[in-house]
Amino acid sequence: MTEKITKALQLVKDCGADGVLVSDPANIRYLSGYTNDTGVLFLSEKECCLLTDFRFLYQALEEAKGFRVIDIGKQGYESLVNELCVQNSVKKLAFEKHVMTYREYEAYKENVTAALVPCDNVLASLRFIKTKEEIELLRTAEHIGDMAFSEILPYLKPGVTELEIAARLAFSMKMHGASEESFPAIVASGVNSSMPHAIPSERPIQNGDFITMDFGCVYKGYCSDMTRTVVLGKASDKQKEIYNLVLKAQTEALRALKPGKKGKEIDAVARDIIREAGYGDCFGHGLGHSVGLQIHEDPNCNMREERVLQAGMIMTVEPGIYVQDFGGVRIEDMVVLTEDGYENLAHSEKKLIEL
Ligand code: GLY
Ligand code: MN
Ligand code: MN
């Protein structure tokens, strides 16, 4: 049994169960090495199984070393899980309530005689601190984002649409080895940039626009996340004021970032700067979040985050100011916490770019 599995079973015991059904794909991948979305893990003190269907059987056998791989065949998941509980003397089976649907729950309840114990995503805590190998993959993923950003700049000309820019960013990242985007890219120009998570539209970019590009990729399972905002043509005084304020908030938050600080303390550094400049109501989201196998992982840097940051955690630092009917700016880097501070994995220019 690997150390990861031993730790996972301890977390499950803390929930009052003696076995667990893992159905969150990120937890499945982390614990077993199986990279597909289809399947579940059954973990108990006696054995670890991966259940999937024939389409993914050979892949599962190849990837999930140390697991008993079972083809659900005609039997189906629920009845097989019941058999495994009986074989492994599991009386209380934990399940991940953040991913199991009510319909799935009903089917398991009907077929499984062991008690079903709803658990929060407790296994995610295993993934908070990244290993050296994981950090290397995250570094590469963010580097791919940097390359895509430098490649998009020559294409930012009046008349090009937000959708075209988003498509080019995705294309660039794939050409540099990414398997997919870590989320659909946000490209928001002009007044659209006042919406933090605007959906790219057919709007052609125009001189005088802010253009916010928030994008990332998946490299060998690990996600990247970065945002840059540029101005097409000459920036107005108000654009410069907002941009430089966001940059200052980010710079100071990064300066404060180190192990031992609570997520909410780092958030407060950026938020106070923005509020004191009179834009408090225009920064309505958290400062950052962790990233790994998923684009949004815990812990966070936001107003509520009491958890303490530790070396080896990944964090985005992404303050923004969004002014209704005008436009907005976000600047986002992805960093890894080190023993005495952080290392920035993003290297794209942050001084205001006027194109
Ligand atoms: N891509 C959304 C975010 O930056 O969290
Ligand atoms: Mn982002
Ligand atoms: Mn982010």
CATH number of the CATH domain containing 110: 3.40.350.10
Answer whether residue 283 is part of any domain. Answer: yes
**Atom in ligand 1 nearest the alpha carbon of residue 296:** 5
What pLDDT, on a 0 to 100 scale, did the predictor assign at position 180? 98
What sign does the dihedral 145-293-308-311 (CA atoms) show? negative
318 lines ligand 1 (CB under 6 A): yes
Task: Note whether 213 and 154 are same-domain residues.
Answer: yes
How do beta strands 288-290 and 217-219 pair?
unpaired
209 lines ligand 1 (CB under 6 A): no
Residue of minimum CA distance from atom 1 in ligand 1: 214
Among candidate residues 151, 225, 161, the one with its CA nearest the CA of residue 189: 161
Neighbours of ion ligand 3 (CB under 5 A): 225, 316
Answer whether residue 353 is part of any domain. Answer: no
How many angstroms separate the alpha carbon of residue 332 from the centre of ligand 3? 7
How many domains does the structure of the chain reveal? Answer: 2
pLDDT digits (tens, 9 = 90+) for 135-167: 999 999 999 999 999 999 999 999 999 999 999
Task: Note whether 183 and 315 are same-domain residues.
Answer: yes
Domain ends where: 73, 94, 127? 127
Q: Of the bound ligands, which one is closest to the alpha carbon of residue 290?
A: 3
Task: Note whether 95 and 235 are same-domain residues.
Answer: no
Report how far residue 198's alpha carbon sits from residue 201's, in angstroms, rounded to the nearest whole number.
Answer: 9
Q: Which residues constitute the domain of residue 49? A: 3-127
Task: Note whether 92 and 141 are same-domain residues.
Answer: no
DSSP codes joined into one string, 175-214: HTT-SEESSPPEEEEGGGGGSTTPPP-SPBP-TT-EEEEE
142 lines ligand 1 (CB under 6 A): no
Residues 6+ apart with CB under 8 A from 26: 124, 127, 292, 293, 294
Task: Note whether 161 and 118 are same-domain residues.
Answer: no
Task: Note whether 140 and 51 are same-domain residues.
Answer: no
**Atom in ligand 1 nearest the alpha carbon of residue 289:** 5
Task: Note whether 87 and 73 are same-domain residues.
Answer: yes
Task: Note whether 85 and 161 are same-domain residues.
Answer: no
How many angstroms separate the alpha carbon of residue 216 from the centre of ligand 2? 7
Domain ends where: 102, 127, 152? 127
Answer whether residue 280 is part of any domain. Answer: yes
Report how far residue 236's alpha carbon sits from residue 239's, in angstroms, rounded to the nearest whole number.
Answer: 5
Q: How far apart are the first and last CA of the chain?
A: 56
Task: Note whether 101 and 222 are same-domain residues.
Answer: no
Among candidate residues 229, 158, 161, 232, the one with its CA nearest the CA of residue 199: 161
How do beta strands 320-323 and 327-330 pair?
antiparallel
- How many Cβ atoms from other residues are within 10 Å of residue 131's Cβ? 10
Domain ends where: 96, 127, 158? 127
Answer whether residue 352 is part of any domain. Answer: no
Answer whether residue 350 is part of any domain. Answer: no
Answer whether residue 351 is part of any domain. Answer: no
Task: Note whether 88 and 177 are same-domain residues.
Answer: no
Task: Note whether 104 and 165 are same-domain residues.
Answer: no
Task: Note whether 179 and 287 are same-domain residues.
Answer: yes
pLDDT values of the chain reduced to their tens digit, one per residue, 355 residues:
899 999 999 999 999 999 999 999 999 999 999 999 999 999 999 999 999 999 999 999 999 999 999 999 999 999 999 999 999 999 999 999 999 999 999 999 999 999 999 999 999 999 999 999 999 999 999 999 999 999 999 999 999 999 999 999 999 999 999 999 999 999 999 999 999 999 999 999 999 999 999 999 999 999 999 999 999 999 999 999 999 999 999 999 999 999 999 999 999 999 999 999 999 999 999 999 999 999 999 999 999 999 999 999 999 999 999 999 999 999 999 999 999 999 999 999 999 999 9
155 lines ligand 1 (CB under 6 A): no
Query: Ligand 1, residues 199, 318, 322, 333: which to mutate, most atoms within 8 A of Cβ?
Result: 318
Answer whether residue 332 is part of any domain. Answer: yes
Residue 266's Cβ-side half-sphere holds a number of Cα atoms within 13 Å equal to 34
Residues 6+ apart with CB under 8 A from 36: 25, 52, 56, 59, 60
Output the domain CATH number for residue 254.
3.90.230.10
How many angstroms separate the alpha carbon of residue 43 from the centre of ligand 3? 32
